[in-house]
Amino acid sequence: MRVTNRQIAEMFNEIADLLDIDGENPFRVRAYRNAARTILSYPRSMAELVEEGFDLSQLRGIGKELAKKIAEIVTTGRLRYLERLKRSHPPQLEALLKIPGLGPGRVRLLHEMLHINSIKYLEQALENGKLDKVPGFGPKLIEKIANGVKRHRYEEKRFRIDEAEETAMWLKERLLKASGVQEISVAGSIRRCKETVHDIDMVASATEGSDIMARFTSLPEVSRVIMQGTTRSSVRLSNGMAVDLRVVDDRSYGATLHHFTGSKAHNIALRKMAKERGMKINEYGIFHGDERLGGETEGDVYRLLEMDYIQPEMRENRGEIAKAQTHTLPHLIEPKDIRGDLHMHTLYSDGMETIETMAKAAQAKGYEYIAITDHTKHLTIAHGLDEKRLREQLEEIDRINEKMDGITLFKSAEVDILEDGSLDLPDDILNALDLVVCAVHFKFDLSKQKQTARILKAMEHPAFTILAHPTGRLINLREPYAVDMEKVMEAAKERGCFMELNAQPDRLDLNDRHCRLAKEVGVPVVISTDAHSPKDLNLMHYGIGQARRGWLEKEDVLNTRSLAELQKLLKQIRP
């Protein structure tokens, strides 16, 4: 498997973490993090660019030395500098960064003061009350760390949906070249658009004599064959992911795909219903005694149980079966329904491209509008804008709107919600914006009562339009902050505000249950990519998948409205 941009970015972020733990110069640490972001967002493969002889140092944030390191990773699959860094640190030290509340600075402090270099030693220190002696480690932080250690002990390794999907699509492309293959589908959690995935399930239909299993188990990227058979094989790849492949004939393909899409709870409920009707559903088909009733398509399962077809994202046994029986299933939002993107960044803060470049990329996707939402001054790490720089940006947006046809740029900003609930810009500049995206970027450890009050206070500001990534979580990295989401949504409905579903795969915030809550409360959701490059605009489909898991329909989502409809609505809530 060719080295991907994500793998290179992860190696650079790992270097940044280790340097940060060592207390290295912050500018050097930031150089690796910025380079990782550039690599991850770049529309072309670094591997291809290296093969073409392209000078990578021409890319923003990539100097000569970093360009050499990228070339080394691409050509050898490893980086000697990273390996040296790792050898100079205890093997388990990095794992401490996965514990909520422990950033590089705190890991360094624990290592220096208490010689903690693994989760095991951290757990022992917690049991012996040693963390109380470390400066800055108060009771609330220690409790947070203790809870994180408990979760780490019991949680299985899970991969983000984008990581798993990328691997699954690569595998599908390879396996389609096998002889006798008729169809291949990715099933399991990926097909249901779950935000994290334990392993990859794939289903194929193939004719007798196909070499698909031999091809699957002999791929160079397979590090271990767990089991191998004629209809089922399981492997573990070099990136750590386990993959299960089922091969059936075309008569059973639909039933097998349904079975391995899941969820388990959904399938059990359907099998129980079938049994009550004298039928049997399994991975090979639908049967009445020895008589085969169907199984060629997934639709056979639902048709024979006298219900409507249930989309994969809804198959969680959360009421979808009753809806299918009464023909009242929601008509889930689709990618074609999206008319614009209301959260993205440019070179003015921590984005990778100019306003005009982002606008043209959005226009190429057929969007009618976008909002430019660069960070504001409190977020110094992202080069947030003060009032003067923001006014300069607004003037540029005016110039671009005058010369570009077919797309409208809204003037906006991603404004920090300060600890007291005030916003990070004065009223005169906030009032000059078409809409205001507001977000919590610090003080995540406030109590649930205080965090909720903070957000509710911010919502009282007349300029407040959209609450961005409403729980602040980073999947597999940072737990959501404590907040009463029901109160927040009720306030949003009352005050004419909207809730963002951030489509970044490390956020997907709102989660699926909060999407359903928004639908029930009647608060429109905005699906936004939080794009930092044109490539990031393609992340919208992860947001769509999450929205579909939350049963959202076209009318539940703000940015399915036309430009004229959205402008009219914004005027109503911001007269």
**Which pLDDT belongs to residue 5?**
86
pTM of the predicted model, to two decimals?
0.84
Count CB-CB contacts under 10 A for residue 153. Answer: 10
Class of domain 1-89: mainly alpha
| Torsion sign, CA atoms 498, 559, 415, 62 | positive
CA dihedral angle for residue 13, residue 19, residue 20, residue 24, rounded to 10 degrees = -140
Architecture of domain 95-155: Orthogonal Bundle (1.10)
The answer to whether the beta carbons of residues 438 and 468 sit under 8 Å apart is yes
Residue 124 has pLDDT above 90, yes or no: no
Residue 351 has pLDDT above 70, yes or no: yes
**Which pLDDT belongs to residue 235?**
94
Q: How far apart are CA 69 and CA 77, in angstroms?
A: 11
Residue 135 has pLDDT above 90, yes or no: no
Cβ-Cβ contacts under 8 Å for 512 (sequence gap 6 or more) = 195, 546, 549, 550
Pair type for strands 200-206 and 181-186? antiparallel
CATH 3.20.20.140 segments of the chain: 335-573
CATH 3.30.460.10 segments of the chain: 160-325
**Which pLDDT tens digit goes with each residue over 406-461?**
999 999 999 999 999 999 999 999 999 999 999 999 999 899 999 999 999 999 99
CATH 1.10.150.110 segments of the chain: 1-89
CATH 1.10.150.20 segments of the chain: 95-155
CATH of domain 160-325: 3.30.460.10
**Element of type H or E holding 416:** strand 414-416
The answer to whether the beta carbons of residues 254 and 300 sit under 8 Å apart is yes
And the tokens for 229? Answer: 């058979």
Percent helix, percent strand, percent coil in the chain, to nearest 5? 50, 15, 35
Architecture of domain 335-573: Alpha-Beta Barrel (3.20)
And the tokens for 197? Answer: 């995935």
**Which pLDDT tens digit goes with each residue over 271-291?**
999 999 999 999 999 999 989
Residue 1 has pLDDT above 70, yes or no: no
Q: How far apart are CA 294 and CA 207, in angstroms?
A: 19
